[in-house]
Structure 1
Amino acid sequence: MRTAGLLFFVALCALSVAASLKICAFNVQSFGESKANNRRVMEILLKVMSRYDVCLIQEVRDSKGEIIKALVKDLNRFDKSNSYSYVESERLGRKSYKEQYVYIYRNNVLKVKELYQYPKLAEEGNNETDVFSREPFIIRFHSPTTLVKDFVLIGQHTCPKTALKEIDELYTVVKGIYKKWKTDNVMILGDLNAGCSYVTIKGWKAVRLRSDPRFHWLIGDEEDTTVREKTHCAYDRIIVHGQEMRSGIVHGSAQPFNFKEKYHLTEAEALEVSDHFPVEVDLKPSHRYLLRNEL
């Protein structure tokens, strides 16, 4: 009986890991036609993307709007056990440099409830200087199989020179999301340039996302989210807000995904894909979902 109970516990744990919802943010570093035409790069991207139920892609440089469409089409062929869709932001950036945020997600697992492109201050009739170089792209999901059923992802890629100012302003964004959608279940994710020379100890003290205990930083300052061996910087982060959201995280699941080691690549081969590793985290499955599948 003791052995049977142990086997049941092990099986339940394995099912829990399999049933968790995996989220990522990945700066694919100037993802344009050149990378899209590199077969080896695209094969690696398909392997990476098939790990996740939803992934925020950053630095999409695609004025024709064809690259992501082709990637998702290939992803559906590569992973036939799931069905993938995507939503993309407008092209963002000051002056001539523009890039997009894109969420690629499994539509057989998640449902999009609402989208929100955070407004430029100028568009709001405000004469103040815009804080963000690329305004956050925000999505609200419904997830029937996880403990947290309704949650918001705030995708952000900061400008290195103004990283701390932009990170601090995300505090205001979260407050605005609560006012708009009445939910505390928020996750901020992306390349925040939150490490090395772009941040200082003195600067951190003024960042509300760091000083407010309601914000929990899942990717710590000691992590390395960069591909190059000569660098060790926690540029890419995942931050959660709200007690329910924090309780819904699988303990220890937040980490960079080292695709260089996983797929046995040289540094040069990995850098063809990106100079960043994705950062990832899992949401716990609901107890009802686990029991239903176990029975």
Structure 2
Amino acid sequence: TGWASAMARLFTFLLTLLGVHLVAAAFKICAFNIRSFGRAKAANQKVMGALVQILSRCDITAIQEVRDSRGIAIQMLLRELNRYDRSHHYSRLESKRLGRGSYKEQNVFVYRMDVVSIIDWRQFEDEKIGNTEAFVRGPFAARFHSLFTAILDFVLIVHHTSPREAAHELNLLFDMCKELMEQWKTENVMVLGDLNAAGAYIPANAWARIRLRQDLGFHWLISDTEDTTVSHRTCCAYDRIIVHGEELLGAVVPRSAKAFNFTQALGLSEEEALGISDHYPVEVNLRLAPKAQREL
């Protein structure tokens, strides 16, 4: 009937308004391992179309596994992202190319520069600590500032652990966090990325030796039971978000940390989804600042 149709349209309109309100009610931080992201993926319209839909949900995304030595792929991604979402302007901060051998990759922070700014950054080197090998790929850190969030300043450390060295590198990240806290005089630090922190990469008896896990000041927001992998054949929480600092933890929206299943959200087959990545992004929301603070 006409009445039923009108009510359906009204219901849809109200849901749309609610969706807009919910999107605007929090500041979203994401981490996404876009497996081997280079010029081949950047030239694939279907892949790029999906990527901009995924990334446009986030105020900051820490991207891992950027493989293009000439930097063209990430430029193309930013261009398409800014075309897709004209309500914001996206910029980027790139790490150096990381890796000990011929295999190199980058970490890249993609962020809405009209909402958040970068006030400092640091690239940790692939160096030895004493006689011990440090990281296969050094962590990349940035200090962010935003008037829109309930916390003005916070530090993000993105890292992609070497699978064979995952337990060792997770333990070393504890030292990197403490070093940054001292350098930047803040307790509010978030570690995020593909940490390979699950499955055979972290034997059960290794957890007790990982200070990043055992220290009560660090809060692991992505649980061990979360599946951050695309393939139906795997179920592992490789990708994590770890928060330090009571102020930052207090700014986190409860139960907002999760993997974003873009296979379901975008209506993709498993094969199509794997063409984008074998990882799902992980995400967490921060509460927005009071209106008065946002208008400063």
TM-score (norm 2): 0.90
| Whole-Å separation in 2 of the counterparts to 1:282 and 1:191 | 18
| Matched-pair contact (CA < 8 Å) for 2:88–2:114 | yes
Amino acid at match of 2:281: P
Gaps of 5+ in 2: 1-16
The offset of 1:287, in angstroms, is 2.4
Q: Secondary structure at the match of 1:233?
A: coil
Aligned residue in 1 for 2:59: 53
Aligned residue in 1 for 2:6: none
The offset of 1:127, in angstroms, is 5.6
Aligned residue in 2 for 1:118: 124
Aligned residue in 1 for 2:14: none
| Whole-Å separation in 2 of the counterparts to 1:17 and 1:284 | 11
Percent identity over the alignment is: 49
| Whole-Å separation in 1 of the counterparts to 2:181 and 2:273 | 39
Aligned residue in 2 for 1:179: 182
- 1:239-294 CA-to-partner distances (Å, cap 9, x unmatched) read 000100110100011000000000010000000000000000001111245997xx
Q: How does 1:4-153 map to 2 (within 5 A)?
A: 15=21, 18-121=24-127, 128-153=131-156
Aligned residue in 2 for 1:165: 168
| Whole-Å separation in 1 of the counterparts to 2:261 and 2:19 | 24
| Whole-Å separation in 2 of the counterparts to 1:13 and 1:136 | 35
The offset of 1:20, in angstroms, is 1.3
| Matched-pair contact (CA < 8 Å) for 1:16–1:285 | no
| Matched-pair contact (CA < 8 Å) for 1:16–1:284 | no
| Whole-Å separation in 2 of the counterparts to 1:34 and 1:12 | 38
Calculate the aligned-residue CA RMSD, in Å: 1.9
Alignment pair present for 1:249 and 2:255: no
| Whole-Å separation in 1 of the counterparts to 2:277 and 2:135 | 23
The offset of 1:74, in angstroms, is 1.1
Q: Secondary structure at the match of 1:189?
A: strand
Alignment pair present for 1:280 and 2:286: no
Aligned residue in 2 for 1:199: 202
| Matched-pair contact (CA < 8 Å) for 1:136–1:156 | yes
- 1:94-124 CA-to-partner distances (Å, cap 9, x unmatched) read 11000000000000000110010013336xx
| Whole-Å separation in 1 of the counterparts to 2:290 and 2:40 | 45
| Matched-pair contact (CA < 8 Å) for 2:126–2:136 | no
Q: Secondary structure at the match of 2:64?
A: strand
The offset of 1:39, in angstroms, is 0.9
| Matched-pair contact (CA < 8 Å) for 1:145–1:289 | no
| Whole-Å separation in 2 of the counterparts to 1:95 and 1:129 | 18
The offset of 1:17, in angstroms, is 5.3
| Whole-Å separation in 2 of the counterparts to 1:52 and 1:166 | 27
Further displaced range: 232-241 or 26-35: 26-35
| Whole-Å separation in 2 of the counterparts to 1:127 and 1:32 | 35
Q: Secondary structure at the match of 2:193?
A: strand
Q: Secondary structure at the match of 2:271?
A: helix
Amino acid at match of 1:280: E
| Whole-Å separation in 1 of the counterparts to 2:122 and 2:245 | 20
- 1:105-154 CA-to-partner distances (Å, cap 9, x unmatched) read 000000110010013336xxx66343211100000000101111100000
TM-score (norm 1): 0.91
Gaps of 5+ in 1: 1-10
